[in-house]
Amino acid sequence: MAGAGDKVDYVFKVVLIGDSAVGKSQILARFARNEFSLDSKATIGVEFQTRTLVIEHKSVKAQIWDTAGQERQGEKCSQWRHHTIPYHLSSETYHVLLPNKLTTSHACYFNNCRYRAVTSAYYRGALGALLVYDITKRQSFDHIPRWLEELRGHADKNIVIMLVGNKSDLEEERAVSTEDAKEFAEKENLFFLETSAMQATNVENAFQTVLTEIFKIHS
């Protein structure tokens, strides 16, 4: 693996999308830091983490974006235009800060604002996406077509998409068959893998596949 001071040949932005609680942040924690936590906090705003890997002798920095910003479907906030969300850029973490006056009682209202403000910035420049559902939550799979529609509406035409059925360690609670997901992925021309962020199964493989495919298209 390339070290921090090494030269980077490519930076590829990849976004994580899917319903809340499917395991997006833990998939990212596993990939970026080889960590996993069972009491994962809900993601606030947007952040990205990076990891540099070598693909065909080139140093490729993967910039993986994670959010909770687009997960809520609520009433549209009519006043979102009046808010400007300040951005704070630290070395490798990108946070969308909450407006000062925001309190938890405004969460739903704010989520709509955030949804509006962040969606296009989130997808801008993304060359890859992990479209994640939870194999134990049928609804999270049923929502995949909507996520795909949003992704295709906002992202690069050539975006490389991997459908990811996470929590494969919970086989006894499975609610989505591998065959159904595979069939959907084939129909929509997506890569497909089942992962477990908890057991570190296929997480590396999922990112490697997407990044290698992006590399083939863009190098």
Residues that bind Mg ion (CB under 5 A): 24-25, 43
Residue 158 backbone zone (phi > 0: left; psi -120 to 50: alpha; other: beta) = alpha
165 binds, among ligand GDP, Mg ion, none (CB under 5 to 8 A by kind): none
Whole-angstrom distance, CA of residue 145 vs CA of residue 136: 18
Compute the least distance from the CB of residue 57 to ligand GDP, in Å: 32
Q: Is 52 in the site for ligand GDP (CB under 6 A)?
A: no
Nearer to Mg ion, 24 or 143 (CB): 24
Q: Does 114 bind ligand GDP (CB under 6 A)?
A: no
CB 14 → ligand GDP: shortest distance, Å? Answer: 15
The residues facing 163 across adjacent strands are 131, 192
Shortest Cβ 31–ligand GDP spacing (Å) = 12
Of the residues 2, 11, 21, 98, which one makes contact with ligand GDP according to CB under 6 A: 21
The whole-angstrom separation of Cα 200 and Cα 176 is 20
Integer Cα distance of 19 and 16 in angstroms: 10
**Residue whose beta carbon is closest to ligand GDP:** 23
Nearer Cβ to Mg ion (43/50): 43
Q: Which of 52, 112, 166, 202 binds ligand GDP (CB under 6 A)?
A: 166
Bridge partner residues of 126 (DSSP): 13
CA angle (184 as vertex; 182, 189 as ends), nearest 5: 90
With contacts defined by CB under 6 A, name the span among 35-43, 48-56, 87-95, 100-108 that binds ligand GDP.
35-43
Q: Does 24 bind ligand GDP (CB under 6 A)?
A: yes
Contact flag: residue 204 with ligand GDP (CB under 6 A): no
Contact between 32 and ligand GDP (CB under 6 A)? no
| Of 13, 23, 46, 112, the one binding ligand GDP by CB under 6 A | 23
Minimal distance in Å, beta carbon 174 to ligand GDP? 12
Positions in the binding site for ligand GDP (CB under 6 A): 20-26, 37-38, 40, 43, 166-167, 169-170, 196-198
